Amino acid sequence: MVDQNLESKSKRIPVLAISRKVIQVISFFLINYTALELIFNTDFSLLQDIFKVLPFLHSAKGSWTVGAGLLEYSFYTIAQGEIPFFFVGVIALLGLFGGRIFCGWVCPTGFIQDLLYGLGGDTKRFSLEVDRSLKKVKNFGLIVLIVLILPLGIYRSISDIVKYDDYSDFLGNLTDNILAPISLSEFLFVTFPGVVQSIIDDVNVQVLFSEGKAWSTVLFFTYIIILVITVFWPRAYCKYLCPYGAAISFSARYSLIKLQRMPTRCPGRKECGICERVCPVQVRILDEDFSGFTGHGECNLCLECMEKCPHDAIKFKFGV
């Protein structure tokens, strides 16, 4: 029975997957509009005002940009000694009303991970326990960043400029961009193109091993390793490291947009289990509440499970 359904399903055009790819490509070019500028040899800087507050880490223009995402603005506000009610509120509302749909359909960093994953032939999965533990790493990372930036805000709010300056010196470049070291988008759209450009200009790889930049070198190769991992473990960065993913998952777990599974149509994991095998973020769909699930805020609504389910047992749900 499953085989028959699978066969008929495999003949259908994967409308959702194609739609998602089209939206990802359009988003990629709009958010990284420097690519459009290069292609059309024109100035799209007007787009900067539109895209710089989208919830991505460093949206567009590499080292030339002043664009930033909601999380950058949140950290900036904390460093100014204020509580970022507005930016955190927007992130929370996005998660509440849209879950992590940005991650699945819009985020250019997610899109690149999807492309890389397409290169690998074989999906690898961590065990349930390892996956659950690793997913906590990004939450821990976010907390560490908040703890690191908080003294700046405290010194600023009590007007202790000497301590503020001392701590700012201690943080160095992190004062202005605390997210940079753990931002894959910073690496993809700022660091990596810059390094490649230097290598092309100087015709050597000296830029990678400059004196006094050991941390940059370590980070560079760490990100290369992360990207290689992503070829086999889909969305590895999103799942385990992305600070925006960590921030939005708190409200996304209560998202009004979610999925539901109809148990009357679903024969279960032993007989089928396809949905879980295709899920890029390893949601244990069959262990989730069938009346509505968000994968504890990890589901990015890519809809792979819905499209691949041979029994059409997975549907959208809107509501609590």
Binding site for ligand SF4 (CB under 6 A): 261, 266-267, 272-275, 278-281, 283, 285-286, 295, 299-305, 309-311, 313-314
* Nearest distance from C-beta of residue 4 to ligand SF4, angstroms: 13
Residue number, 112 or 299, with CB nearest to ligand SF4: 299
Cβ-contact 52, 67 below 8 angstroms: yes
State the nearest-atom distance from the C-beta of 269 to ligand SF4, in Å: 6
> Measured between alpha carbons, how far is 46 from 94 in angstroms, rounded to an integer?
24
- Residue 219 C-alpha from the chain's centroid: 18
Q: Minimum Å distance from CB 209 to ligand SF4?
A: 39
- The CB-of-231 to ligand SF4 minimum distance in angstroms stands at 19
* Cβ atoms of 118 and 234 closer than 8 Å: no
Cβ neighbors of 225 (< 8 A, separation 6 or more) are none
Decide whether 207 or 242 has the Cβ nearer to ligand SF4: 242
Closest separation between CB of residue 268 and ligand SF4, Å?
6
CB of 302 to ligand SF4, least distance (A): 4
Determine contact, residues 188/230, Cβ cutoff 8 Å.
no
Whichever of 193 and 267 has its CB closer to ligand SF4, that residue is 267
174: part of which helix (H) or strand (E)? none
Shortest distance, position 6 Cβ to ligand SF4, whole Å = 9
CA–CA distance from 13 to each of 19, 102, 109, 266, 303 (Å)? 11, 24, 26, 22, 14
d(CA 236, CA 117): 10
- Contact assessment for residue 100 and residue 248, using Cβ atoms and an 8 Å cutoff: yes
Q: What is the largest CA-CA distance in the chain?
A: 73
Taking the C-alpha atoms of 114, 120, 121 and 125 in order, what is their torsion angle to the nearest 10 degrees? -80
Query: Toward ligand SF4, which CB reaches closer, 149 or 274?
Result: 274
Whether the Cβ atoms of residue 65 and residue 261 lie closer than 8 Å to each other: no
Give the nearer residue to ligand SF4 in terms of CB position, either 151 or 310.
310
73-104 b/e with 16+ CB inside 10 Å = b? Answer: bbbbbbbeeeebeebbebbbebbbebbbbbbb
Q: How far apart are the C-alpha atoms of 58 and 81, rounded to whole Å?
A: 22
Q: Which is nearer to ligand SF4, 153 or 280 (CB)?
A: 280
Q: How far apart are CA 226 and CA 33, in angstroms?
A: 25
**Pick 216 or 260: Cβ nearer ligand SF4:** 260
Closest distance to ligand SF4 from the beta carbon of 178 (Å): 28
Nearer to ligand SF4, 156 or 258 (CB): 258
Distance in Å, CB of 48 to ligand SF4, minimum: 31
Nearer to ligand SF4, 111 or 155 (CB): 111
